[in-house]
Structure 1
Amino acid sequence: MIIQCENGHIACSNCCARLGNKCAMCSMPIGYNRCRAIEKVLESIKISCLNAKYGCKHMFCYSKKNEHEKECKFLPCLCPHSGCDFLASSEELSLHFRHRHIHSGIQFAYDKFFTIFLNSDHKTIVLQEKNDANLFLIHNNHELLGNLIHITCIGPKSKRGFHYDILARSQGSSLILQSYTKIVQGHSADAPSTGMLLIPSDFFGSGQIKLDIRVKS
């Protein structure tokens, strides 16, 4: 929304709030009278998405910019392979990883348990689903009490997450986590406040643990 002061100077509604409803040009009160003529001009101007170079072809008026870019499926994502700086939409990234780094990730199928062996000092392991090629990351953060494990999915912010199960066993004891993947745009991710599996250090034995994992479609 565009607002004008009594002298005709204009500002958007967000700026009015930051300015304390005083015009930046003349200090007159501002924030009560809409300037519909300028609003119509802005609505008629079409702009392209910031992610146009990654494949987005959408054109929209400026007022829709933030709304679109929050949902844009072409938001660039960084390749999770160590040392690779490939940046592209999640769809292009999945194809890139399948062709360039196929042997550095673990292939799996939705809704079926599969087994991995995780070293206590492994930071991340890349997973790629066999059919839709979606990329997932197992994150392993070492803490005083043990290792915190969680899974994320690489994709745009609008992408839906996936339910998953992690099962860890050691000397007759079992630990189970049922959680939901956070969506990230690269290999780094902040540890979530919930939805992590704490594996005590003694579960790792010789420095490695067997995990059974299932990602649900």
Structure 2
Amino acid sequence: MAKFSFDDAEEDPPAAASGGDKRKREDGPPGGAPPKARNLAVGGGEPDGSATVGEERAEGSGRKVVETGGGEADEGISVRIDPDVLDCSICFEPLRPPLYQCQNGHVACFSCWSRLSNKCHICSHDANFARNIALEKIVESVKSSCSYANWGCSKLVSYSLRDAHEESCLFAPSVCPIPGCGYRGFTGWWSGHFFIDHNAEGLRFMYGQHFEVNLEMSVPFLVLLAEDDHLFLVLNKNVMPFGHAFSVVCLRTGNLNWNFLYEIKAISSANTENSLQLKASVTNTREWGGLHPTEAFLLVPYVFCKSSKLTLNLSIERFADVGGGYVTSSVL
């Protein structure tokens, strides 16, 4: 069994400011973040024990660990290669079979070859493209650890599917929405971060209970901190010439077995008999960069607000995902 390790793991998670850690996370390497060099180490079990030492170094430093099948541990060899050879030389995405090469051996992914008009992008020769079966087998055998291994993810995934996994990895940190902050954290750490760095920001609430929020019409979002430390944003988008579109998103990756619904209600300040209401699912996002949900939002006309503020009545309900159904947190 050969083992590969990438030296490009994500930096260490920040120390928790307060509150309990909701998920198991590995501590980062002592003395700072792991090196960023993109080298690929392959360890085989040498009789002198060098492979064992290499394996401990990879696991202890939080490097990406990649396993490929084949061979007994004591029959391996140790080499170092550049993992960039596993990426397409045209689009720079991970290579995925089927893989084709020109007569000089230059390889690219199938989607890129199909756009080259039978000329190699490197040597420019007329290309009689042929399958590179050997490289396909190598690419298919490589299993890479997640970039968020230092943050607690222990999964090994196919190198070609690593990007797709990391897009939905439950251990991918979310980015604080406050402009200029740059803090990255998880559910369980937001309260401490906001208490220390953004004490005037954020409104706490309890699931299933209605509460009012007074929102400045010029403010793009309002931060809400739930009782379990999930971080929500009430988004405010000015939709000229109609009014303001309000929606709710949650900063997290994956569902973590929880789903959320929200109800939002706006009452006209000019005529309290006029009201608008929406019930919808909360959208998840790892980082809010100004994008607003398009599937569901509450559009409130300008005439509902006489001054620069608008009062909204809001509630958020938490549901456990149980076998494809939903159970409200109040009965758990």
TM-score, structure 1 normalization: 0.81
- State the partner residue of 1:169: 267
- State the partner residue of 1:112: 209
Query: CA offset at residue 174 of structure 1?
Result: 0.7
- State the partner residue of 2:170: 73
Q: CA 1:22–1:161 in structure 2 vs 1: closer, same or farther (change >3 Å)?
A: farther
Distance across 2 between alignment mates of 1:29 and 1:95: 60
Secondary structure at the counterpart of residue 104 of structure 1: coil
Indicate which of 148, 159, 163 corresponds to 2:245: 148
Query: CA offset at residue 46 of structure 1?
Result: 3.5
Secondary structure at the counterpart of residue 216 of structure 1: strand
- State the partner residue of 1:28: 127
Distance across 2 between alignment mates of 1:117 and 1:5: 62
Indicate which of 193, 196, 202 corresponds to 2:297: 196
Distance across 2 between alignment mates of 1:99 and 1:58: 33
Distance across 2 between alignment mates of 1:62 and 1:186: 24
Q: CA 1:35–1:213 in structure 2 vs 1: closer, same or farther (change >3 Å)?
A: same
Q: CA 1:109–1:29 in structure 2 vs 1: closer, same or farther (change >3 Å)?
A: farther
**Contact map agreement 1:49 1:59 (CA 8 A) in 2:** yes
**Contact map agreement 2:101 2:131 (CA 8 A) in 1:** no
Q: CA 1:29–1:161 in structure 2 vs 1: closer, same or farther (change >3 Å)?
A: farther
Which amino acid in structure 2 is aligned with residue 138 of structure 1?
V
Q: Is 1:60 equivalent to 2:161 in the alignment?
A: no
Q: CA 1:20–1:210 in structure 2 vs 1: closer, same or farther (change >3 Å)?
A: same
- State the partner residue of 2:312: 211
Distance across 2 between alignment mates of 1:84 and 1:165: 29
Q: CA 1:57–1:169 in structure 2 vs 1: closer, same or farther (change >3 Å)?
A: same
Which runs of no fewer than 5 residues in structure 2 stay unpaired? 1-96, 319-332
The answer to which structure, 1 or 2, has the higher relative contact order (CA under 8 A, 6+ apart) is 1
Residue by residue, what CA displacement relative to the aligned partner does 1:128-156 show, whole Å, maximum 9, x if unpaired? 1112x111101112233322211111112
Residue by residue, what CA displacement relative to the aligned partner does 1:55-92 show, whole Å, maximum 9, x if unpaired? 4343333122133123212223211234422123x336
Q: Percent identity?
A: 28
- State the partner residue of 1:186: 287
Distance across 2 between alignment mates of 1:215 and 1:71: 23
Secondary structure at the counterpart of residue 162 of structure 1: strand
After TM superposition, list the pairs within 5 Å mapping 1:63-102 onto structure 2.
63-88=160-185, 90-91=186-187, 93-94=189-190, 96-97=192-193, 99-100=195-196, 101=198
Distance across 2 between alignment mates of 1:186 and 1:6: 41
Secondary structure at the counterpart of residue 214 of structure 1: strand
Query: CA offset at residue 215 of structure 1?
Result: 1.3
Aligned pairs, number = 212
Residue by residue, what CA displacement relative to the aligned partner does 1:137-184 show, whole Å, maximum 9, x if unpaired? 01112233322211111112x337632110111222111112222222
Q: CA 1:12–1:187 in structure 2 vs 1: closer, same or farther (change >3 Å)?
A: closer
Q: CA 1:186–1:7 in structure 2 vs 1: closer, same or farther (change >3 Å)?
A: closer
Which runs of no fewer than 5 residues in structure 1 stay unpaired? none
**Contact map agreement 1:23 1:29 (CA 8 A) in 2:** no
Q: CA 1:66–1:201 in structure 2 vs 1: closer, same or farther (change >3 Å)?
A: same
Which amino acid in structure 2 is aligned with residue 94 of structure 1?
W
After TM superposition, list the pairs within 5 Å mapping 1:37-52 onto structure 2.
37-52=134-149
**Contact map agreement 1:161 1:182 (CA 8 A) in 2:** no
Residue by residue, what CA displacement relative to the aligned partner does 1:2-32 show, whole Å, maximum 9, x if unpaired? 42347372332233234356543443232xx
- Comparing both structures, which one devotes a greater share of its residues to strand? 1
Query: CA offset at residue 93 of structure 1?
Result: 4.8
Query: CA offset at residue 42 of structure 1?
Result: 2.4
